[in-house]
Amino acid sequence: MVRVSFLLNLLGYTTAALGVAPLFLYLDLPVQLTLPLALAAGVFCDRRRRYPLSGGIATLLSIVCFLLYAVQISRDHLIEPVVNILALLLAVRLVTEKNGRNTLQVFVLAVFALASSTLLTLSAAFFLYLVLLVAGVTVGLVLLSFHAVNPQLVLSRLQTRRILGIALTLPAVSLVLMLAFFVILPRTQYPLWNFLNPTATATTGFSEEVRPGSFAGIAAGKEVALRVESERLPREELYWRGIILNTPAGSTWVRQLPPPGDMARIRGGRTIPQTIYPEPKSGNYLFALDVPRGVEGLRSSQAGDFIFRSRGSLDRRVKYTAVSVVGGALEAIGPVDRNFYLAVPPHLSERVHQVAVGIAARGAGAGDRIALLEAFFANQQLDYATSDLPASDDPVDEFLFEKKRGYCEFFASSFALLLRLSGVPARLVGGYYGGEYNEMGGYYLVTEDTAHVWVEALVDGHWVRLDPSRLARNAEASLLAPRVRGLSAGRRILDTVDYYWNRAVVAYDLARQLQLLQQTNRQLRQLRIPFDLQTAGVYLLAGIAGLIALVAMLRRGKYSREERILRAFLRRVRKKHHLDAIPAATGLQELAKQLDDPVCREFAEIFGGGVYRDRKLTGVELKRLKALVRRLHKGKAGPKRSAS
Amino acid sequence: MTLLLGFAAVNTGNNLLYLLVSALLGFMAVSGVLGRWNLAGLGVRVEVPDEVYDGVSTLLTVRIENRKRLLPVCLVDVLLPAAGQATFIFVERGGTASETLTATFHGRGIHTLAQAQVRSIFPINFFVRSFPVPVDRKLTVFPTPRPCRLAGEAGRQTAGGELPVGRKGYEGELSRISDYHGGEPLKLIHWKLSARHGQLKVKELSDAARPPVTIELDFLPGRLEERLRCAAYLADSYLRENRPVGLRLGSRTLPPAVGRAHKLRLLTELAVHGQG
């Protein structure tokens, strides 16, 4: 027998824990301590059915908790006090008597707590909490209606199973409907309370200026920078352009607006459309495959050097589309302000100047000089490294001649400076290089540790991409390989989940979704599926296997375990003794006698001893019966006979 | 709660809140459908005892039948006017359950329980679903028996010769001798007389019961309703004594008889008397 109030108590504890779990880390320490204590006290009080907190005291305590945090509420400090209030109210309700009204309050507070967690975090874990909480609350509400009819109601085990079975169909179907409602619910274009939504903090890795020598070592994590949905590309094309740094100020490269009239156009090449999901960050540069021709889906501005900036901030989840050209030429239109792209900082060492003078003297054109400079870099036996880095006032000199080790910023800034000193206009391009293609999701995952800086030099009126980091002795091992190695299998799966979560839920937009639908529709019409016998065969087999499993499950559910073992026994007996059919009226004992089979006799005795005396078979008996059925299977077949 | 969260979702544009609101909306939709299914395929039957008296509490049995093949019926209240409500917690698919209700009917005559109201809060106690179920149960409410003067004073005792005295029986006094027809028990054969007459003669014994009585409504005291109650009382008391009771209502006469069926017939006549 099961008491309904006991089930309700269990559901109350569970839903309270599920509601608070996603925001637990954001609660104040005293509240964090109070919650588990309240839960434990609630369990204790419910077991003893004595509640120290009567209705009046509980209400008073709730008001005090409310006031305690309500006074802290301000426009800039709104969410934290509210979630603390919710958690404290929940704690109070956990300790009080669980009558119908209070249990309902626990459910409501748990739902509100989960709702408020969306204003603190947009993690995919929310979905898990949501599913579990919806299941718990809906089953709880069903049980509450039984509780309302009779608070002392006790149900039989069978009734409980049946009621819970029906109650569980509620969340199951609700969650399916949820997906439909989610798609069609109307959205406002400009939400009024957008400020309440969580803002992600900026991640490390990519930065809007290049300052070699400022750190003795760098450590970039595997935080996701962006995900790019596109076709698979060769590794050497995976340059994600973000910013152009055109002005060296001391040892730091910064971006200034390109001189007026500094325009370029892209000629030739192959266009690659991409959909890009950047992680929230503080800057507003929009990344895309080098060289992006256009960006859509966000209000953005384009500079003459094909740098795109969002007009709004990128501190929340957004997505945009970009069309890039791979393998084309970036041709400068009109005269380039050479002085602007040849400017160098004043305090460069004599050795650096001498190298540049030498290259300028030996190389006639920009192409020759680049080749000479590349040869110089190769001769210097430079290493790509992220530790024990040059950290003096003149990092370029130290990098090229002393330590001979550094990361992309050292390579790129030294290369660009030497190009400028030898009379070749050059600039730095900041972005990412590499990315791991996620086959499951069909997207590139670009992490912060692939932040990269390379050089663009003006050669015969074209801006040409040069990556001096490739000139490192250990380029293949240190620079290139890690950038495509990516994440471990486990993290890759998690990232796929996260990707789809962000794409389908967090950044969901009906208008775009319709666009996608139309696009898919168009694509489907144009689709020509090549007939692949192997794939078709696999699908067919999977379908048949699924169907068999379904039928087996249904059959299994149809018969009790006694009926199942009896059916198996009769099947085996028919097979072993070559019987066409065993008449339904034939008793087991009679059958055993007719067949004169000791196995059948033993089966009949055990089975009859249980089932015909109207009791269920014990575990031991069932085990023995199964063993007998197996023995029938192994036993040798006798002569054909018929049972009557 | 859904509205509040929906308002917050629209205003923040937070898709996670939309997800939560969608789940709650889905839940409301499913609970509505489940609530309807719960009350579908439900048969209600009301069983009424044979004797129901005007203004006297009686027990009715409400029986519900779950004709659904898959789902049980949960938390159903059956409301009967003048009888209150019966609550059924759980009725398995294809099963029946019954509850007893106390009801009081006022006014003699034929009453009709046309319909019952079936209602349920299942699956969640936020909405009550309710709909009428035809019952179409007719019942006759008898006049309440009220003690009055005994038959000797009020009714007219049957006069000798007017009606045959009693009926043939096997235990009473000898009333006459008649010819043997073949169906009589052998112990009733009057052997002496048979020998004397040369043909078999049998003894006819009168019934051991007390002499029959016919209640004449018009001769009872008081106004019509009082007379009816008195007649009901008399009929009941005589029949308890196993005394055959007849009834004369104006020109109609019901011959005296005993037994439960006869009692119900008499009471029914009294209940509907003068009601067309």
Q: In 10 A of CB B200, how many CB atoms?
A: 17
Q: Determine the distance in angstroms separating the CA of B14 from the nearest CA of chain A, rounded to an integer.
A: 7
Q: Determine the distance in angstroms separating the CA of B113 from the nearest CA of chain A, rounded to an integer.
A: 26
pLDDT of residue A239: 92
Q: Return d(Cα A413, Cα A213) in angstroms, integer.
A: 11
Of the pLDDT bands very low, low, confident and very high (cuts 50, 70, 90), residue A395 is confident
Residue A586 has pLDDT above 80, yes or no: no
Please compute the mean of the pLDDT values over residues A594-601 and round it to a whole number: 85
pLDDT of residue B77: 92
Q: Which residue in A has a C-alpha nearest to residue B92's C-alpha? A: A159
Q: Return d(Cα B266, Cα B245) in angstroms, integer.
A: 9
Structure-token match 């294809």, residue found? B94
Q: Which residues of B touch A122 (CB under 8 A)?
A: 16
A510 reaches B (C-beta below 8 A): no
Q: Which residue in B has a C-alpha nearest to residue A160's C-alpha? A: B90
Q: Which residues of B touch A159 (CB under 8 A)?
A: 90
Q: Which residue in A has a C-alpha nearest to residue B71's C-alpha? A: A166
Picking from A177, A188, A191, the nearest residue to B26 by CB comes out as A177
Please compute the mean of the pLDDT values over residues A77-99 and round it to a whole number: 88
A164 reaches B (C-beta below 8 A): no
Strand, helix or coil for residue B62 = strand
Please compute the mean of the pLDDT values over residues B66-94 and round it to a whole number: 88
Q: pTM of the prediction?
A: 0.57
Q: In 10 A of CB A375, how many CB atoms?
A: 12
Give the torsion sign (CA, B27, B30, B34, B36): positive
Per residue in A434-477, pLDDT (tens digit) is 888 877 777 888 888 788 899 999 998 889 999 998 888 887 77
Lowest mean pLDDT among A205-214, A293-302, A364-373, B120-129: A205-214
Contact B21 A185 (CB under 8 A): yes
Strand, helix or coil for residue A40 = helix
Spatial CB neighbours of A578, under 8 Å, sequence gap ≥ 6? A637, A638, A639, A640, A641
B17 reaches A (C-beta below 8 A): yes
Q: Which residues of B touch A193 (CB under 8 A)?
A: 8, 11-12
Q: In 10 A of CB A621, how many CB atoms?
A: 17
pLDDT of residue A204: 43
B86 beta partners: B78
Please compute the mean of the pLDDT values over residues A387-395 and round it to a whole number: 77
CB-based contact A589:A596 (threshold 8 Å): no
B40 reaches A (C-beta below 8 A): no
Please provide the average confidence, as pLDDT, over all residues in chain A: 82
- Cα dihedral A74/A80/A81/A83 (nearest 10): 140
Higher pLDDT, B221 or A202: B221
B73-80/B84-91 β-pairing: antiparallel
Q: Which residues of A touch B19 (CB under 8 A)?
A: 126-127, 130, 178, 182, 505
**Mutation for A interface: B12, B16, B36, most A CBs within 10 A:** B16
A199 reaches B (C-beta below 8 A): no
Q: Determine the distance in angstroms separating the CA of B51 from the nearest CA of chain A, rounded to an integer.
A: 33
Of the pLDDT bands very low, low, confident and very high (cuts 50, 70, 90), residue A100 is confident
Lowest mean pLDDT among A11-20, A40-49, A486-495, B161-170: B161-170
pLDDT of residue A52: 82
**Mutation for B interface: A183, A190, A193, A505, most B CBs within 10 A:** A193
Residue A416 has pLDDT above 70, yes or no: yes
ipTM: 0.72
Of the pLDDT bands very low, low, confident and very high (cuts 50, 70, 90), residue A203 is very low
Structure-token match 């059948």, residue found? A600
pLDDT of residue A13: 93
B253 reaches A (C-beta below 8 A): no
Does the N-terminal peptide bond of residue B123 adopt cis geometry, omega within 30 degrees of 0?
yes
Amino acid at A597: D
Q: Which residues of B touch A101 (CB under 8 A)?
A: none
* Token pair recorded at residue A223: 């935080």
CB-based contact A595:A587 (threshold 8 Å): no
Contact A163 B74 (CB under 8 A): yes
Residue A281 has pLDDT above 50, yes or no: yes
Q: Give A439's Cβ-side CA count (13 Å radius).
A: 1
Q: Determine the distance in angstroms separating the CA of A120 from the nearest CA of chain B, rounded to an integer.
A: 11
pLDDT of residue A510: 57
Please compute the mean of the pLDDT values over residues B160-166 and round it to a whole number: 39
pLDDT of residue A597: 84
pLDDT of residue A630: 87
pLDDT of residue A264: 85
Q: Which residue in A has a C-alpha nearest to residue B5's C-alpha? A: A115
Please provide the DSSP assignment of A343-392 as one string.
---S---HHHHHHHHHHHHH-SSHHHHHHHHHHHHHHTT-EE-SSS---S
Q: Give B31's Cβ-side CA count (13 Å radius).
A: 27
Please compute the mean of the pLDDT values over residues A230-243 and round it to a whole number: 89
Percentage of residues of chain A with pLDDT beyond 70: 85
A196 reaches B (C-beta below 8 A): yes
Lowest mean pLDDT among A122-131, A423-432, A521-530, A582-591: A521-530
Of the pLDDT bands very low, low, confident and very high (cuts 50, 70, 90), residue A489 is low
Strand, helix or coil for residue A179 = helix
